[in-house]
Structure 1
Amino acid sequence: MLDLVSEIFSRYCLIMLLVLGTIGLTFNTLIFTRQTFRQTSCVHYFLASTIANYFVVFFILPSRILSDGFNIDPGQYNLFYCKIRFYTYFTAKSLSSWFIVLACFDRRMSSSQNVHLRAFARPSVSRLTIVITTFIGLIFYAYVLYFYEIDSNRNCDSRPGVYSVFNDSVYLIGYSITPPLLMLIFGIWTIANTRRLRRIAPRGRRISILNKRDHTLMLMLFLQVIVITVTTVPHAVQKLYSTLTIDVPKDDYTKAADNVFIVVVRAVSFFNHSCTFYILTLSGKMFRQELYRILRKMTCRRPLQATRNNQHLRTLTHGIKFTAADRPVQVKERAAKQNVP
């Protein structure tokens, strides 16, 4: 039974997440780069998180399918691949969550009464913040390139002892606990600011930070906070538990149960990175409207183009017929005037 559960999650669930992630990330990119969203600073963070998820879905997830589902792990034989895989794993997953944190902070700034704080919620500021955050993430997780190695059992893993404890603690605090906690704080702060502005705003006056787009973005953020918390915390706790109990004697059944639990929570941790598109589609009406426009444009592009060409040809034809028919009349009228005595 345990082997069946392990096979289902390590093969079929991961393969399904790969397919769903490919479709979802593609649509996320198409939607977030449309003119409707391009001028919103919060959406820039969503797009940056989507780009980080590309590395998770197309680089990390296939390697996990091979290693967990089919026992094919190139990291067992190539030290460079071993280091790069886990460096990309930690960096991309963490940046994906931290960009959502910045999106929550952006909404908090946009709801402020202080005009100087609202200036933070600008596309130019968001682009600069994304570049700085990416650079910090790449530097911060550089320790992975030193900590990870191929052990005597031909497993690509962090060095035992204090290195492993430090690595798992950073993963738990920096990826699974701190980002969702900050998202929650900024979200509650934003709601408080919004209610305060509603109380002091004159009736009938529309404030830009209280429009439908901001409410939709806030709902999308809150759902992502919930999903990130539910999918990341179990995996981080499991990693730390495995490290702390590595020297504790266990019977065969306990070892098998631990291995199945590792496979399950590891597969669940990829859900947030693969299925953000479907979360956003369910939560945001504006998001669904843009998706509908894209699908309609994709499916109706050729018929619309053919209709436009036909209309253009008809216009030219009518113009040509009118000109050709009009010239003889004008010539006859001029000849008649010349023959008049």
Structure 2
Amino acid sequence: MLNLVSDIFSRYCLMVLLILGTIGLTLNTLIFTRRTFRQNSCVHYFLASTIANYFVVFFILPSRILSDGYDIDPGQYNLPYCRLRFYTYFTAKSLSSWFIVLACFDRRMSSSQSVHSRAFARPIIARWMIAITTLVGLLFYAYVPVFYIIDSNHNCGARAGFYSLFDDSVYLVGYSLAPPLLMLIFGIWTIGNTRRLRRIVPRGRRLSPLNKRDHTLMLMLFLQVTLITITTVPHAVQKLYSTLTLDVPKDDFTKAAENVFIIVVRTVSFVNHSCTFYLLTLSGKMFRQELYKITRKFMCKLGRQAIRTDHQLRTLTQTVKFTTSNPQLQRKQQLKKRNTEQMVSIQNRLT
């Protein structure tokens, strides 16, 4: 039974997440790069998170399918690949969450009464914050290429002892605890600013700092924060628990159950990186509207291409029919062909 559960999550569930992630991230990119969102700083953070998720879906997920589902793991024998995989694993997953933290902070600043605070919510500031956060994330996990080795059992992981405990603690705090906590703080702060603005602005007058698009983005952020919290915390807690109980004696059934639990929570942690598109589509009306525009444009383009191809086929068919039904034209073509053959024959004789 445990082996069946392990196969379902390590093979089929991960494969489904890979397919969903490929479709969702592609559509996310098409939507976030549309002209409608180019001047929205919050969408810049969504796009940056999507780009980070590309590394998770297209690099980490296939390696997990091979290693967990089919016992094919080059990291057991190739140390550079071992270190590169886990370095990409930590940085990509963490940056994806931290960009959402920046999006929450951006919404908090955009809802402020201060003009200077609202000036933070600009695309140029978002691009700078994305670049700085990316650099910090790459440096933050720079210890991975140093601490990670291939042990005597051909397992790729952090060195035993303090290094392993440090690695799990950093993953727990930097990926599973700090981002959701900061998202929650900025979310509550934004709600407080919104209510304060409603009390200040006279009745019947619209709020200038916030509009329908801002409220939609905040709803999308809230749902994504919830998803991040649910999917990331169990895996980080499991990693820390495994490290702390590494020297505790366990029977075979307990070890098998823990291995299955590891595969399950690890698979669940990829849901956040593969299914954001479907969450945003359900929660954001403007998101669905842009998706409808893209779909309609694509269908119209296919329709025009089909009409053009049909027109070309009709023209070619009419030309062929005219050629075959015109005896005079056929005689001219045959005469031209005969003259060409005679000229070639004469040239061959001369040579």
Cα drift, residue 133 of structure 1? 0.3
Q: Which amino acid aligns with 2:58?
A: F
CA deviations 1:14-40 (Å, max 9, x no partner) are 000000000000000000000111110
CA 1:301–1:261: 2 relative to 1, 3 Å = same
Residues 221-300 of structure 1 aligned to structure 2 (within 5 Å): 221-300=221-300
1:26-41 equivalences under 5 Å are 26-41=26-41
Q: How do 1:72-221 residues align onto structure 2 when only pairs under 5 Å count? A: 72-221=72-221
Distance 1:162 1:134 in 2: 27
Runs of at least 5 residues in structure 1 that lack an aligned partner in the other structure: 309-341
Post-superposition CA distance 1:151-209 (Å, at most 9, x none): 00011111000000000000001100010000001001001100110111123322233
- 11-20 vs 294-303, which deviates more? 294-303
Secondary structure of the structure 2 residue equivalent to 1:157: strand
Aligned-partner Cα distance in 1 for 2:307–2:59: 43
Give CA deviations for 1:209-260 in whole Å, capped at 9, x if unaligned.
3211001000000000100000000000000000000000000110000000
Match of 1:323 in 2: none
Cα distance, 1:297 vs structure 2: 0.7
Q: Match of 1:210, SS?
A: coil
Q: How much does 1:305 deviate?
A: 7.3
1: distance between equivalents of 2:69 and 2:306? 49
Q: Deviation at 1:306?
A: 8.3
User: Which AA in structure 2 matches 1:146?
Assistant: V
Write the deviation string for residues 260-304 of structure 1: whole angstroms up to 9, x where unpaired. Answer: 000000000000000000010011011001001101111112435
Residue 12 of structure 1 aligns with an amino acid whose one-letter code is Y
Q: Decide whether the 8 Å contact of 2:217 with 2:284 is kept in 1.
A: yes
- How far did 1:146 drift? 0.5
Alpha-carbon distance between aligned partners in 2 of 1:145 and 1:218, rounded to the nearest angstrom: 37
Q: Deviations over 1:92-120 (max 9, x none)?
A: 00000000000000000000001101110
The one-character-per-residue Cα deviations of 1:102-145 (angstroms, maximum 9, x if unpaired) are 00000000000011011100000000000000000001100001
Local SS of the residue matching 2:149: strand
TM-score computed with the length of structure 1 as normaliser = 0.89
How large is the Cα RMSD of the aligned pairs?
Answer: 1.2
In structure 2, how many angstroms separate the alpha carbons of the residues matched to 1:140 and 1:177? 16
Supply the AA of the counterpart residue of 1:14: L
- Rounded to whole Å, the distance in 2 between the matches of 1:307 and 1:255 is 63
* 1:234 aligned partner, one-letter code: P
What's 2:4 paired with? Answer: 4
Aligned residues with identical type, % of pairs: 81
2-side partners of 1:26 and 1:243: how far apart? 37
Consecutive unaligned residues of structure 2, counting only runs of 5 or more, are 309-351
CA distance, structure 2, for counterparts of residue 213 and residue 58 of structure 1 = 31
Instruction: Report what 2:316 is aligned to.
Output: none
- Distance, in Å, in 1 between the alignment partners of 2:205 and 2:237 is 49
Alpha carbons of structure 1 residues 111 and 250: separation in structure 2 relative to 1, 3 Å: same
What residue in structure 1 maps to residue 65 of structure 2? 65
2:319 alignment counterpart: none
> Residue 342 of structure 2 corresponds to which residue in structure 1?
none
CA distance in 1, matches of 2:193, 2:285: 23
Q: Secondary structure at the match of 2:143?
A: helix
Q: CA deviation at 1:307?
A: 8.6
Separation in 2, partners of 1:172, 1:182: 14
The aligned length equals 308
Amino acid at match of 1:284: G
Runs of 4+ aligned residues of structure 1 deviating over 6 Å after TM superposition are 305-308
Aligned partners of 2:110 and 2:210 also within 8 Å: no
Task: Give 1:318-329 correspondences, 5 Å limit.
Answer: none
Name the aligned partner's letter for residue 56 of structure 2.
V
Please identify, of 145-154 and 204-213, the stretch whose mean Cα deviation from structure 2 is larger: 204-213
Matches of 2:41 and 2:244 in 1, distance apart? 42
The residue correspondences of 1:46-57 to structure 2 (distance < 5 A) are: 46-57=46-57
